[in-house]
């Protein structure tokens, strides 16, 4: 087989053995739905871009795209009066629907929500094959193939990028210099409160979507700049602040800290852009804070920004990859029940944020921003809740995925409400 899975992809295969590890992207197309035309557009794009005939050898961490016709799994559903609510329901269902574990299979499932004069095109995919940036480019091409018809020419993508070996070798000096940071991360994990998971409850994902309008997001960006923090820092701070009441008695003794994860795309460290190379190039890092009572948001965001800036400058997210490699070696010797709780016990986080600038990626791929775009991502065994933050046309969509073994829907609805209230209350 031609391709080798990288460290994070191999980790995703281990996680999806416990529960499906899918992601879902949804794009609004401002044109009436023609099912035959859509099927043809999907097939032409996948076949032209070389994304058919996937074969996976999970044990060896190898894969290839053998080519051939696209099977095009497409479900057509009514959007109803509330297309966003209808999309939420389908996203939740798709997050929990498994793909085959190995061998030859189609890693793409499509759905269309018919709204009459417009429709929403959704794509659920086995997350190990690609990161969100590659899927945005694919969705852009699917949009163009549908709108332009035969005038559209699929781009040819490199589907066999280098794994992380060269990246880690190139930054060997940073890895060695960052060992104290790895030791500090291990120490901080021992002082971080752990979320509670109810025994006997399956690791099912639930989902809800909330939206920040353009004016409110513009104000939030201005405030973030005035504080000297990024939008990602602000979202991490808002999430920790919103989830702090959930920790309650979980924080005590030596475990007085709370942690959140930031999922980062490291493509820029060693790969061409998503418009040229299809694949997945992810890592993550933690931020921690004692979250004292009465903690003000500006101070919290700045405290987290110190951590995120240091992580980016020193590339501490590479240390996460070494930790992933070590956990992979230990994984094979763990019993199934140990695997299910390994990350929650040894790398505790209360939530995670993955931020995707859809508009910028769309422009990079050669077009104007789509009318609307949002997504849902899996939680996996590492975090009980993950927020898929997507910016498009000045708006911010926040897709909350969570494990029902950790939180009920009312709890997450309250968390999402506190985050929205925090954003709307911002003032320079």
Q: Say if residues 405 and 201 touch (Cβ distance below 8 Å).
A: yes
Task: Output the pLDDT for position 254.
Answer: 77
Task: Output the pLDDT for position 199.
Answer: 87
Residue 428's pLDDT band (boundaries 50, 70, 90)?
low
- pLDDT one-digit tens code per residue, 4-52: 999 999 999 999 999 999 999 999 999 999 999 999 999 999 999 999 9
Q: Give the tokens for residue 267.
A: 């493509």
Q: Lowest-confidence range among 58-67, 126-135, 317-326, 414-423?
A: 317-326
- pLDDT one-digit tens code per residue, 207-245: 999 999 999 999 999 999 999 999 999 999 999 999 999
Pairing of strands 3-4, 62-65: antiparallel
Task: Output the pLDDT for position 184.
Answer: 80
CA-angle at 211, arms to 208 and 214, nearest 5° = 170
* Rounded Cα distance, 361 and 280, in Å: 15
- pLDDT one-digit tens code per residue, 123-158: 999 999 999 999 999 999 999 999 999 999 999 999
Task: Output the pLDDT for position 200.
Answer: 87
Give the residue-averaged pLDDT of 241-254.
85
- pLDDT one-digit tens code per residue, 276-315: 999 999 999 999 999 998 899 999 999 999 999 999 998 8
| pLDDT > 80? residue 250 | no
Domains and CATH numbers, the chain: 3-151 (3.30.559.10), 165-424 (3.30.559.30)
Q: Higher-confidence residue: 184 or 346?
A: 346
Q: What is the mean pLDDT of the chain?
A: 94
Give the residue-averaged pLDDT of 341-357.
94
Distances in whole angstroms, Cα of residue 48 to Cα of each of 12, 41, 111, 283, 305: 27, 10, 20, 29, 43
Please tell me which of 46-55, 192-201, 343-352 the model is most confident about, judged by mean pLDDT.
46-55
Q: For residue 139, how many other CB atoms are within 10 A of its CB?
A: 25
Q: Higher-confidence residue: 249 or 362?
A: 362
User: Tokens 């046309």 identify what position?
Assistant: 393
Q: Lowest-confidence range among 78-87, 328-337, 345-354, 360-369?
A: 328-337
Q: Say if residues 110 and 41 touch (Cβ distance below 8 Å).
A: no
Q: Say if residues 215 and 426 touch (Cβ distance below 8 Å).
A: no
Give the residue-averaged pLDDT of 252-262.
88
- pLDDT one-digit tens code per residue, 159-196: 999 998 888 888 888 777 777 777 787 888 888 999 99
């Amino acid at each position: 087989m031609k391709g080798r899975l990288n460290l994070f992809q191999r980790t995703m295969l281990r996680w999806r053995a416990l529960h499906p590890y899918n992601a879902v992207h949804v794009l609004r197309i401002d044109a009436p739905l023609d099912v035959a035309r859509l099927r043809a557009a999907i097939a032409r794009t996948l076949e032209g871009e070389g994304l058919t005939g996937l074969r996976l050898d999970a044990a060896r961490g190898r894969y290839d795209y053998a080519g051939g016709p696209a099977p095009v799994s497409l479900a057509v559903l009514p959007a109803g009066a509330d297309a966003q609510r209808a999309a939420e329901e389908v996203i939740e269902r798709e997050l929990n629907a498994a793909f085959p574990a190995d061998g030859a299979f189609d890693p793409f499932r499509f759905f269309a929500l018919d709204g009459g004069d417009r429709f929403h095109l959704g794509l659920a995919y086995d997350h190990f094959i690609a990161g969100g940036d590659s899927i945005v480019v694919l969705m852009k091409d699917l949009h163009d193939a549908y709108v332009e018809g035969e005038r559209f020419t699929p781009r040819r993508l490199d589907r066999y990028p280098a794994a992380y070996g060269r990246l880690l070798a190139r930054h060997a000096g940073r890895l060695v210099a960052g060992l104290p940071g790895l030791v500090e991360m291990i120490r901080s994990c021992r002082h971080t409160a752990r979320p509670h998971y109810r025994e006997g409850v399956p690791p099912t994902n639930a989902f809800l979507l909330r939206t920040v309008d353009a004016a409110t997001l513009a104000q939030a960006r201005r405030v973030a700049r005035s504080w000297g923090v990024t939008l990602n820092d602000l979202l991490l701070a808002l999430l920790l602040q919103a989830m702090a009441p959930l920790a309650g008695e979980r924080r005590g003794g030596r475990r007085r800290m709370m942690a959140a994860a930031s999922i980062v795309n490291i493509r820029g460290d060693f790969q061409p852009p998503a418009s040229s190379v299809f694949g997945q190039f992810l890592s993550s890092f933690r931020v921690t804070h004692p979250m004292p009572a009465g903690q003000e948001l500006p101070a919290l965001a700045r405290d987290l920004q110190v951590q995120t800036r240091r992580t980016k400058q020193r590339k501490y997210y590479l240390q996460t990859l070494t930790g992933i490699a070590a956990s992979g070696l230990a994984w094979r010797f763990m019993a199934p029940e140990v695997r299910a709780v390994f990350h929650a016990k040894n790398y505790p986080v209360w939530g995670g944020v993955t931020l995707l600038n859809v508009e910028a990626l769309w422009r990079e791929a050669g077009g104007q921003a789509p009318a609307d775009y949002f997504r849902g991502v899996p939680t996996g065994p590492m975090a009980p809740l993950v927020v898929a933050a997507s910016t498009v046309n000045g708006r911010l969509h926040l897709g909350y995925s969570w494990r029902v073994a950790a939180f009920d829907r009312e709890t997450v609805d309250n968390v999402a409400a506190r985050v929205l209230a925090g954003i709307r209350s911002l003032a320079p």
